Amino acid sequence: MPVPIEAKTFTYVPESLREIEGAPKFVLRYGTRRDRNAYRAELAGRGLVSHGQAEIRDAMAEEIKRLSGNSDEAKDRMVETARRYWAASDSLEQQIKEWWEDCAAYARDNPEAELPPAPAIDFDPEEEAWITGIMQDVQANSAVIHNMRKANARRDFLATEVALAVVLVSAEGFDLRRDIDGLVDRECMAELQEWLGDRAEELGFDQTRADDPFGELRNIGFAAFHLPKDTEKNFASPPLPTSDATGSPAEAEDASSASPASAKSKATPSTATSTSATSSTSPSAAETETAGSTGPMAAAS
């Protein structure tokens, strides 16, 4: 999707506050080419480091070998299985993109139509459980993987905050301050986060909920670089466009990835069928197998 040239604006209320009377409104603009340049310059100026998926996978393969107590043959088989699993995950990711496009088309033509079935990963379930268990164990014990993911998480958080600083025009009830480049300055952004949290509490928002009004605002600020101008003014927060390489919104912005389709159907596609986690190198559910244990594919030590 081309980056908008004109700086058109839209009004947004954080989704978690939308049903509360008196919730603050925010005006944001759709990101322009100049905004995109400002975003990239600010991220570069902060000296943030990120790691692509290929780099993380290579590190995972090395850590599987280093941390496993099995024979060299067993370690090689672990790595080979992991790489086949990652290839299957990449294939599934492409299928999911096509599935979302199909769902958007169905929703446009007939909002009540039954959505096409979600794709599933083409990988042996027993092997998948085994290799994801090994990777879960490696991730829990590897400082290398931990530090790479920590760097990525920090960059992703700051990427959405920087994007918001670029495109935020005004905040109802809060005075914004800008730096010399026209971005909302860092101190003001921190104050805005505290103010919005306090305002939400005053309005009766349950602070124990998982929803985060400021997080929703940050996310919509990032998404403003990708949303079509004819989007309804008070839309629900869309899923962030993410990179094919890392699942990172920051990497997606750098790669100028396309935005997800915005379907108007009440039926929203659910996550595609797979026992894998959102990141193919970072399973969410720990398995009983470990890098040092035997499994259906392990050779004798």
- Region 14-43 average pLDDT: 92
Encoded tokens for 192: 């805005």
For the whole model, what pTM was predicted? Answer: 0.62
Which of 144, 153, 148, 150 lies closest to 51, judged by CA? 148
Interval 117-168: pLDDT, tens:
899 999 999 999 999 999 999 999 999 999 999 999 989 889 999 999 999 9
Which of 258, 282, 267, 297 lies closest to 1, judged by CA? 258
Confidence of residue 206 (pLDDT cuts 50, 70, 90): confident
Enumerate the domain spans of the chain.
9-255
Q: Are 111 and 164 in contact (CB under 8 A)?
A: no
CA 1 to chain centre: 19
